[in-house]
Amino acid sequence: MRRGRKRKRAGKPSCLPAADASSSSIESLNDDVIEEILVRLPSIASLARAACACARLRAIASSWAFLRRFRALHPSLLGHFATDADDETVIPTFHPARAQFDGCSDAAVRGGDFFLTNVDANAGWRVQDCRHGRVLFANESDLLVYDPLSRRGVSIRRPSWDPSSHFTHCLLAGYGGDGCPGSFRVVSVEHNGERAARGAVYSSRTGAWRRGRWDYDRVINPKRPSEYSYFPGMQAAGRIYWKHRDTTKLQVFDAGPMRFSYVHLPEGVHPRSKYAVGEAEDGGCCLVVLADAPHGTLFKVWRLRTGKGLAGSWPWAWTWELERRLPACEVIGKVQYPPLRHVCAVVAGVVLICFQNHAGPHRHIAFRLSNMQVEATFRSAGWAYPFLMPWRHSSPVLLPSAI
């Protein structure tokens, strides 16, 4: 009897229906449940590794709708490229954001060329921009768009304009919805004289420049107080913004219609305020400013509204809306830092600020607007550029180094 009972107990699990036995397998889960599982992974590199499991996971993880949702929930900052001095021709140094690294992100950095060994250090390259997983360099005659993750670069001949003019070069993503997530654009703007400028846009899809005409009516001079230096271009949603040294206007260049315009600064923000324009996590244009107040420094975030929700509305319909206002100590903590030097950049919701140091390299801190958590700290004497994981590399086929 005992033996029979033991056999009965032992045989009980094998009597379960086949459907119940498979209820815990991935095949029994619908796509919505799998998406909820994948969206909780800690980083884009972890997502790339998980997508290697099967074609179904890869299809879900590679969809644009899923990637937009994943980007809004997770940080993707791998580190910063920083120069040793503002005006030196040097290959920038990479500073990893090790505070939030997991094994997959670390593998992505190790597998890429973040020391920029494939960039010719003797070619006179100057770093111009860092966006969408690429670094833009310029010398006297050429531009170089370099992808550290794939170790590939694209050399572009600069527009043949007056060499005595000042040029601003910026890197934009490709046109949305074109089926080419890896495409990019380079915007080159020529500033000639006090009130004249024209732009050109290079598309990686066509391999050609599209040139604009001189604009004399809607252009302001974006020079710094120094006679021979210019404020760097800031960008959001396909537009380039420049500070002005004297007025409360921002110069704007729209890369779509190749049109210049300007927009006034928000109330309380002055030409010499410590601020930067850039993109929030959702892609909208925002202005981040650290302003002095009687009881300490205030951190403010303004959002640019384009009138009736129309992205193509005219500049006079643009308005700034105060989205956030809080003491700076809630952002950078109560640690006693040196005086703030400037707000360096706002890229995909990551804000980079720099503190003054006359005795050596400046201290930089990067934090995310969504949660105000510090994600990186490093020191550099020159300009710094946040490097975020490019979402076109989310597929394991395109990012083998993270697998």
| Domain containing residue 151: CATH number | 2.120.10
Report yes or no on 111 lying in a domain.
yes
The pLDDT value given to residue 114 = 92
Q: Domain tally for the chain?
A: 2
The pLDDT value given to residue 311 = 44
Which of 362, 373, 330, 365 lies closest to 345, judged by CA? 365
Residues 131 and 280 in one domain: yes
Residues 147 and 247 in one domain: yes
- 50 three-state secondary structure: helix
Report yes or no on 5 lying in a domain.
no
Q: For residue 187, give Cα distances in angstroms to 200, 204, 226, 267.
A: 6, 12, 24, 30
Report yes or no on 355 lying in a domain.
yes
pLDDT in tens, 23-56: 556 677 888 889 888 888 876 667 777 877 788 8
End position of a domain, from candidates 54, 74, 94:
74
Residues 183 and 314 in one domain: yes
Residues 152 and 206 in one domain: yes
Residues 167 and 110 in one domain: yes
Report yes or no on 4 lying in a domain.
no
Where in the sequence is the domain holding 30, given as residue range(s)?
20-74
User: Which residues fall within 8 angstroms of residue 188, CB to CB, at 6 or more apart?
Assistant: 143, 158, 159, 167, 168, 169, 199, 200, 201, 202, 209
The pLDDT value given to residue 47 = 77
User: Which residues fall within 8 angstroms of residue 363, CB to CB, at 6 or more apart?
Assistant: 337, 338, 354, 355, 357, 377, 378, 379
Residues 282 and 296 in one domain: yes
In tens digits, the chain (403 residues) has pLDDT values of 445 554 444 444 444 344 444 455 667 788 888 988 888 887 666 777 787 778 888 888 877 678 767 766 665 788 999 987 755 567 899 998 865 455 556 666 777 899 999 999 889 899 999 988 899 999 988 999 999 988 899 999 998 777 677 888 999 876 543 445 568 999 999 887 667 889 999 999 899 999 999 998 888 877 765 555 667 889 998 899 998 878 889 999 999 899 999 899 999 899 889 999 999 887 889 999 988 777 778 899 999 987 654 444 555 578 999 999 988 777 776 566 678 888 999 998 899 999 988 888 999 999 888 878 888 899 998 889 999 876 554 433 333 333 2
Residues 46 and 189 in one domain: no
Residue 103 in tokens: 């094994």
* 3-state percent breakdown (helix, strand, coil) of the chain, nearest 5: 20, 35, 45
End position of a domain, from candidates 34, 58, 74:
74
Residues 203 and 249 in one domain: yes
Q: How far apart are CA 336 and CA 326, in angstroms?
A: 18
CA torsion sign, 138 to 181 to 109 to 343? positive
DSSP conformation letters of 132-168: TTEEEEE-SSEEEEEETTTTEEEEEEPP---TTSEEE
Report yes or no on 82 lying in a domain.
yes
Report yes or no on 10 lying in a domain.
no
Q: For residue 67, give Cα distances in angstroms to 33, 63, 302, 309.
A: 16, 6, 26, 24
The pLDDT value given to residue 39 = 86
Q: How far apart are CA 380 and CA 48, in angstroms?
A: 31
User: Which residues fall within 8 angstroms of residue 44, CB to CB, at 6 or more apart?
Assistant: 70, 71, 74, 76, 105, 389, 391, 393, 394
Report yes or no on 12 lying in a domain.
no
Residues 142 and 171 in one domain: yes
Residues 109 and 196 in one domain: yes
Residues 51 and 195 in one domain: no
Report yes or no on 90 lying in a domain.
yes
- Identify the burial level of 44 via C-beta atoms within 10 angstroms of its C-beta, where 0-12 means exposed, 13-18 middle and 19 or more buried: buried
Bridge partners, 380 (sequence order): 362
Residues 356 and 374 in one domain: yes
